[in-house]
Every structure is written in C-alpha cells, then in structure tokens.
Amino acid sequence: MSFFRALGAEFQKLLTTRMWWLLAILLAAYVAFMAGGLGALFSWLGANPDAAAESGSAPLPADVELAPLLYSFASSIGYVFPLLLGALAVTSEFRHKTLTPTFLAEPHRTVVLSAKLVSQLVAGAVLGAIGYAVSVGSAATALAGFGLETGLDSSDTWALIGRGILAMALWGGIGVGLGVLVTNQVAAVVIVIAFTQFLEPILRFAASLNDVTATVGRYLPGAASDALVGASFYTVAAFGGTETLDWWQGGLVLLGIALVTTAIGAATTWRRDVS
C-alpha cells in the first residue's frame, strides 16, 4: 500500500519538472538524426552502387541487414537518456535537499528507493518507446523512399523493437543505481557522459582485440545491451566478429547491474543522516 503511494509520488515528481521531456526531445532529435540521416545515406549507397563506388564510399557488407541496424539506434545510442533520467531522479533529491520532505512523508527509505527504481524502469520504457517510434519512423521512411526493405512486416523486427524498449527500461534502473551510489549530481552526470561516450566504446574496442578479454568485454553494460537488442551499429562498425551474449543473458546482465547497484546504495548512502 505505502509502496504504491510512494510510486505515485515518484511519477508525480518525474512529471512535474521539465527534465523528462527535455531528455525526451533530445533523444528524439538525436535518434532522428542518426537513424534517419544514416538511413538515407546507406539507402542511397545501396540503391546507387556505381555512384557510391565513384565517391569512394564502401557500401555495407552484403550480409548486413540495414533495417534492424538503423532501428536499433534508438537504444544503441539512446540508452544514455534513460540512464541520465534515472540518475537525476536520485541525485536531484540530494542536490535540492528534498530528501527531507520525502522521508518525512514516507519514513521507510527502502520503500522510497524501490518506488524510484520501478518508476524509472517505466520511464526508461517510455523513453524507449519514443526512441523506437522515431528511429523506425525516420529510418523506414528513408528505406521505403529508396525502395528498400523496411522489415516492418516481419515479426523479428517487432521482437527487436520490444527488446530495445526493455533495454531502455533497464537503463533507467541502472541510472537509479548509479545515482544512489554517486549522489553528487555533477559527478553522476560526468560519469554517465564519460562512461557511455568514451570509456565503454574504448573498452569494448580494446577488449575485442584479444580472445580472453573479448569474453569479459561481452559483459560490459553497453555490449550486454546490444546483445539484448540483437543489433547495433557497434557490432558492424568496429567490432564485427566478436561473439555477443544471448539476448536474455544481456538482459540479465543489465538487470543485475541495476539491482546490485541500487541495493548497495540502499545499504550505504540512502541510509545516511539527512542534514
């Protein structure tokens, strides 16, 4: 009972500030640019192989299916947005010292944190739905415009979209875990940006150079996320050939990271004196 009250309060907190739609707009713009723009470029290359050869651009390998690759931009580049939103949901309570009214209204702190985790899983799924609506919408338009296969009549495509939305949801949960471990808002944002944009891509690349490290590299969160979704420009662009986890293993890795980080935070920073 008190959990559902806390959950309702967390959704209200989320919806009564501007952060969620700011991030939703950025996500939509970024995904539309990448999925739509690259969709148009690759479609044009695919449709005009001669012109492409003249301009020196190599077309994609023939065995790569273009549609799932483009659609998965929603999560393969968009996962930073639910991650940020989840982290901010926790750190803003510390930053604005709103933990005081929060814990006065609901003194059971674990209830509050559980509600935050669940609310951010839902928020991540909503961002995922927005991201996939944009990536499918823009990329399918580009593909169809050049008379290429959109894959929208295939159940595999829709399963990919579903797994992508699940991945985005789990990233929201990881954001909560990160936020409660690193309660300083600026530090949390810097970590999110640095890890997702620089550190993880470098680690994934470095890990792929060697068979042993490649096994470990599969468990990096971004790699696990791409495994869950089942397609990513990463696997094509740079690290082709590396074995990925099964989709459900990738999902479990993400879920595990979200739960473990949140649980550690619940036992440490979340229990501290609020002053």
- Token pair recorded at residue 222: 């971004």
Q: Report d(CA 24, CA 272) in Å as an integer.
A: 32
Nearer to another protein, 24 or 207 (CB): 24
Stretch that binds another protein, among 10-18, 51-59, 165-173, 188-196 (CB under 8 A): 10-18
- Interacting residue with another protein among 13, 116, 204, 218 (CB under 8 A): 13
- Reduced to 3 states (helix: H, G, I; strand: E, B; else coil), residue 1 is coil
In sequence order, what are the residues at sequence separation of 6 or more whose Cβ sits closer than 8 angstroms to the Cβ of residue 233? 38, 69, 72, 73, 76
Stretch that binds another protein, among 16-24, 45-53, 68-76, 124-132 (CB under 8 A): 16-24
Q: Report d(CA 257, CA 263) in Å as an integer.
A: 10
Q: Report d(CA 160, CA 230) in Å as an integer.
A: 7
DSSP 121-176: HHHHHHHHHHHHHHHHHHHHHHHHHTT----TT-HHHHHHHHHHHHHHHHHHHHHH
Site for another protein (CB under 8 A): how many residues?
28
Taking the complex as a whole, how short is the minimal distance between the CB of residue 98 and another protein, in angstroms? 6
Taking the complex as a whole, how short is the minimal distance between the CB of residue 3 and another protein, in angstroms? 11
DSSP 8-31: HHHHHHHHTSSHHHHHHHHHHHHH
Nearer to another protein, 96 or 240 (CB): 96
Taking the complex as a whole, how short is the minimal distance between the CB of residue 123 and another protein, in angstroms? 15
Is there binding between residue 264 and another protein (CB under 8 A)?
Answer: no
Is there binding between residue 274 and another protein (CB under 8 A)?
Answer: yes
Instruction: Return the residues of window 76-105 that contact another protein according to CB under 8 A.
Output: 92, 96-98, 100-105
Stretch that binds another protein, among 13-21, 41-49, 169-177, 246-254 (CB under 8 A): 13-21
Is there binding between residue 262 and another protein (CB under 8 A)?
Answer: no
Is there binding between residue 2 and another protein (CB under 8 A)?
Answer: yes
Nearer to another protein, 96 or 215 (CB): 96
Taking the complex as a whole, how short is the minimal distance between the CB of residue 171 and another protein, in angstroms? 23
Q: How many CB atoms lie within 10 A of CB 204?
A: 21
Is there binding between residue 3 and another protein (CB under 8 A)?
Answer: no
The answer to whether the CB of 139 falls within 8 A of the CB of 39 is yes
Largest CA distance in the chain: 69
Is there binding between residue 275 and another protein (CB under 8 A)?
Answer: yes
Q: Report d(CA 3, CA 266) in Å as an integer.
A: 16
Nearer to another protein, 122 or 203 (CB): 122
Q: Which residues bind to another protein, rule: CB under 8 A?
A: 1-2, 5-6, 8-9, 12-13, 16-19, 92, 96-98, 100-108, 273-275
